[in-house]
Structure 1
Amino acid sequence: MDLRLVLGVADGADQSALASRLGLGETAVRKRLRRLATSGATPWLRRAGSGYHLTDGGRAALGAIGEAASACAAVTAVLGVEVLPVRHVRVVTAILASGSISGAARQLGLPQPSLSAQLSRIERRWGNVLFQRAPGGVSATPALDRLLPHLRLLEKSLSRLAATGMPEDDPGVPCDLEVACEFGFTGLLDALRDEALVDVQQHIVSVPGPDWTPDMRNADICVYADLPLASLTTPPGWTTAVAFEEPAYVLLPRTAVSDRETVELRDLAGHDWLTGPAGTRNHRSVLAVCRAAGFVPRVRFTALNGPSGRHILEAGEAVALTSATLVPAGALRTVRLAEDLRVRLVVGWRHGGPATATAEWMVRWLREQHVQRLAQRRPELLAELRADPVGWPGYVDA
């Protein structure tokens, strides 16, 4: 991406044209250009007014930059990926040259387990097994053999560029993060790309039980809901932050209860309930909060998510526990619970890991998006939360 930016500047493209050419937001382009103009002892670019121009070092490196960009394009075309971080190329070529992961780890100054984990991630990202493991070392697979001509050309070009002050991969821009979300958030990936976090993959996962799933533990960042009396326990080595919290609501048939602004749980003791399957967090949460209110809910249906659950609710056959905004807008009727029960959206990441800055950014973005949803769908609730800084401190400055 940086190579293509430099070539675009050489062509005289402005920031708007660069953003369109690279599929980035203009904010991302500005950040990358600013870094390229300040990185290393001999930066390739210099700022002139609102634009950028090549330095003498940039002009001298232009041939090698074009050669490296062509090699990168060939590799990404074969692999079907958008971004090819320099450190990924160095890991693969170092392992290939040494014939073993342990030898490459010594060459790169990394612990062997760390390099092995990096290789596994690169293979997953590139969609190919690159090395055949054996007790005596590793050897290239046919998939890697097909890439070798392009990788060797790229490695040669990078070696030439290293002498010209080529900037390293920006450590503040994670190049291979995976996000496991319990919910899909419209605009999240576009916003990440606009912030120059251009190689973040999002996976929608199910969290059926009381513990983090393997998909969550294997991801760099996890986003999930903590339900009343059924919170997930954070695994050791992970940090969590609450992006937002909101009051618990009940999805009601239109025939249930009068048009009151709130409803107490005990008023719903005679209704059938719809929950997630037995043992899931939603099921356990409903049982816990209803028992705390003095009754055992009559759980008749266990198909909360998907069209079947929505059909049950729209047909007025059951009630279900939800929150202020984590339910699709539409014909379903929601009423706030009188009890002070809260649903929290939590973001988790490995403590001190490379995902920290991105995860913290996601916390802020999710909070801002939540405030916007409240402003559109429940403005009276947003006003109430802002007016109670002690009970709802997260909304004071929202």
Structure 2
Amino acid sequence: MDTVDLRLVLGVADGDDVLSLATRLGLSETAVRKRLRRLVGVPGTRWLYRTGPRYRLTDRGQAALGTIGETAAALAAIGTLVGVDVLPVRHVRVVTEVLARGSIGCAARHLGLPQPSVSAQVTRLERRWGSALFHRAAGGVSATPALVELLPHLRVLERALARLAETGMPDDDPSVPCDLEVASEFGFTGLLDALRDEALVDVRQHIVSIPGPDWVPEMVAADICVYADLPLASLTTPPGWDTTLAFDEPAYALVPPGADTGRTSIGLRELAGHDWLTGPVGTRNHRSILAVCRAAGFAPRIRHTALNGPSGRHILEEGGAVALTGATLVPPGASRAVRLAEDVRVKVVVGWQRGGPATATARWIARWLRDQHIQRLAERRPELLAELRGDPVAWPCHAAPGPTPRRQA
């Protein structure tokens, strides 16, 4: 339950249909429908019911309308003060419970949550709201000036929520977290919008650089991580994390003019005499190229270490060096991409904190990335997609969708 849910109920009361609600709130129609279905809830306690394509207020919802409006206004006022558009009720409950109990541990026991989970939620709220909320000490916690400023509004909201609870307010769905932190080695166009619209999750993404073999602190502190698992330079998964393969694809060589001679594949040893372009010395890309080439029997002549950025793109456009990439990750201007004859793969992995609220969302991200990858293959390399689908044992992530089951008469 958050600001958007309450505004949806108020919009239904005004007679808005799904399209009008989506326009009013800046959401997709899919996201609006999913939220409305969740708000319908359990018969006997629900605020809304559906009749045909429209949603309407139940008698219980009509009776709660004034309190719903007060709660939405209080949430909006706090959201304005802390600079967020969507404020989940659970965030307010965590803050007020920790303040009332004077201890994160006591608040966790009262909320029925693990102490590390409550501590992590407080830390995330402080980052999202842009200021520290609690002074932490050995004996407990106390309010900072920033939290003291919010207290009058929080008290108003507490009273409104107490009245709202008596009206059968829908419970939060624990499988749909309101917000998550994602640390990603890449930016994926459309992912954040899809998460908000389709998975109903508000995500903050941090693009991180991974210089060595270990996860960087930003990854460990996040709920979900997305990164490349490079050949012979894999990252070690830290304790307490699970991972899944979103997709993998064959490695391609970006070669200078004349090096490919129109061939469909090329062996690594054939590239031994060329200059190579990698990431900076010590990075995983640099170490992976060294390891892959040495496994093929030669040491690459690395002359350029600026894989990303304008200088790297210029080197590739001019055909000044060899570089390795994935089948669909060929940068603009590097048109001479030839598949490696060796079985070298680039993998994209999604990781999440085991047992945390991000499990379902992490798996959703993995499916989304896989679907997007298959779409890119279909557009750019249809012959490769057909080949990968022809070997589902070696390439299970690219399996063709099964036939639609026939409906029984």
Common topology (TM > 0.5): yes
Equivalent position to 1:313, from 316, 330, 336: 316
Is the CA contact (8 Å cut-off) linking 2:317 and 2:333 kept in structure 1?
no
Q: Does 1:232 align with 2:235?
A: yes
Gaps of 5+ in 1: none
What letter matches 2:162 in structure 1? Answer: S
* Distance in 1, Cα, partners of 2:109 & 2:378: 55
Q: What does residue 191 of structure 1 align with?
A: 194
1:5–1:220 Cα change, 3 Å: same
Q: What does residue 378 of structure 1 align with?
A: 381
Equivalent position to 2:41, from 33, 38, 42: 38
Cα-Cα RMSD? 1.6
Shift of 1:252: 1.4
Equivalent position to 1:100, from 78, 100, 103: 103
Is the CA contact (8 Å cut-off) linking 1:65 and 1:161 kept in structure 2?
yes
What letter matches 2:388 in structure 1? Answer: L
Is the CA contact (8 Å cut-off) linking 1:278 and 1:302 kept in structure 2?
yes
Q: What does residue 254 of structure 2 align with?
A: 251
CA deviation profile, 1:140-172 (whole Å, cap 9, x unmatched) = 222112222221111110000001100122222
Q: What does residue 404 of structure 2 align with?
A: none
CA deviation profile, 1:336-362 (whole Å, cap 9, x unmatched) = 111111111111111222111101111
Q: Does 1:212 align with 2:215?
A: yes
* Distance in 2, Cα, partners of 1:15 & 1:261: 51
Shift of 1:331: 4.2
1:286–1:328 Cα change, 3 Å: same
* Distance in 2, Cα, partners of 1:48 & 1:131: 47
Shift of 1:111: 4.1
Q: Does 1:122 align with 2:122?
A: no
* Distance in 1, Cα, partners of 2:211 & 2:40: 49
Shift of 1:40: 7.0
Q: What does residue 302 of structure 1 align with?
A: 305
Partner SS, residue 327 of structure 1: coil
Gaps of 5+ in 2: 402-409
Q: 1:349-368, aligned counterparts within 5 Å?
A: 349-368=352-371
What letter matches 2:51 in structure 1? Answer: A
Q: What does residue 144 of structure 2 align with?
A: 141
* Distance in 1, Cα, partners of 2:106 & 2:230: 48
What letter matches 1:291 in structure 2? Answer: R
Shift of 1:56: 0.6
Is the CA contact (8 Å cut-off) linking 2:64 and 2:167 kept in structure 1?
yes
Identity %: 74
Q: Does 1:328 align with 2:315?
A: no
Shift of 1:47: 1.0
* Distance in 1, Cα, partners of 2:230 & 2:317: 23
Is the CA contact (8 Å cut-off) linking 1:255 and 1:316 kept in structure 2?
no
Q: What does residue 173 of structure 1 align with?
A: 176
Q: What does residue 90 of structure 2 align with?
A: 87
CA deviation profile, 1:169-188 (whole Å, cap 9, x unmatched) = 22222112111111110000
* Distance in 1, Cα, partners of 2:72 & 2:396: 49
* Distance in 1, Cα, partners of 2:268 & 2:288: 13
Is the CA contact (8 Å cut-off) linking 1:272 and 1:297 kept in structure 2?
yes
Q: What does residue 131 of structure 1 align with?
A: 134
